[in-house]
Structure 1
Amino acid sequence: MSNPIYLALDLPRLDAATALAQKVKGHVGGLKLGLEFFCAHGHHGVHEIAKIGLPIFLDLKLHDIPNTVAAAMQAIHVLEPAIVTVHAAGGRAMLEDAKAAAGEHTKVVAVTVLTSLDDADLARQGIAGTAHDQALRLAELAQEAGLDGIVCSGHEVGAVHRQWKNGYFVVPGLRPADGASAADQKRIVTPRAARDAGASVLVIGRPISRAADPVAAARAIEATL
């Protein structure tokens, strides 16, 4: 992949999302469509964004019983996504069924620990150890289940890459080194640090989408890689 940046197009209006994607398409390698976008615009919205000509990452974070997740995966075949997310916490059977039901050219990656969570949040959920520990445990589970890779923060991607050499690693929660606001993210790194640690895909949203000049922001981030 020549450009690992996937722009998160989590905007409530389809016309605004399309316009933004058109503006920055020369400086990103793909487009991420999450729950906000998919719930608002469904299959139609995905088809419209796909017309821009960049790979589509459907960040749906599927998490249910194995049969339901497999059926959901089959339902999005027609959208031909390059990447789809499921939650690693759904268990090995769910992960295996998700991968088996995915399209031939779709990478299935498992979300480990959300970048909005830290060690204290995990402790409140009754999960022992640190976010780093949990991400590595779930990465091992995803690898055993035959998935293509995982989603993790830049803090864990280096360690996961060392134990899963050929894995496909999606890293969100990225902020440029120019002091951009962390907002609701707790475990953040710069795009360059994540890339150097082994990230395959860099998911970047607000630092581009909410910038005064999204094209300049995307170009500046691209230049650091």
Structure 2
Amino acid sequence: MSSSLSNRFKASTAIQQSGSVQTMFSGHHATVHCHECNRAMVPRVVIYYGQPLKSICPFCGATFARFPSGLQKFLQRFHTRTLTTKHFNFFSLAAGLFGFTFMGSSKDMLPETLPTFALFGFVTFTTLALAELVFQCIEQLANRLSHESNYYWATLVFVAWVLGSINSELTVPIIMLSFAMVLRGLIVGFGQILRNK
């Protein structure tokens, strides 16, 4: 008698649980597909000192998603690593306009004070275009190989430091390129903030 009652209770509980699960996940998938092994899985969250770092595939261990910290969220709002050529096109167009202005002013078609300004603009925007080209090449390479671009940037900084320590004549160009990369990041970042508002 007691066993039959317990069996009925278990059966009704199982029916209720299955019904609640079906209503909870109705129209939704409880699993996702891994980018590496392409298996259906539920990502496991990796936590470090109470902060979620990333989620991984329980089968192959590949990273499924990363959870940025507060500082990273602020930096991502300021500048995301978008793989686009519009910034390079803008810098190239500005450099071309300053270059044509310099050529026109050198033939006494424009005021005498304009060539210096045009030459400065041409050099500045040409350097920014080269910095944007380097940035996009590294980000595209990391994206194609499914790697974190931070390792590429760290390698580039290390190579620049080694070259600067070996040959002191390369120190000034390396500093100028670094300044151009920082200036390029500031211009693109402020442009992105203005677009997002």
Who wins on radius of gyration, i.e. which is larger? 2
Q: Which has the higher helix share?
A: 2
More strand by share: 1
Give the number of the structure with larger relative contact order, counting CA–CA contacts within 8 Å between residues 6 or more apart: 1
TM-score (norm 1): 0.25
Task: Tell me the TM-score normalized by structure 2.
Answer: 0.27
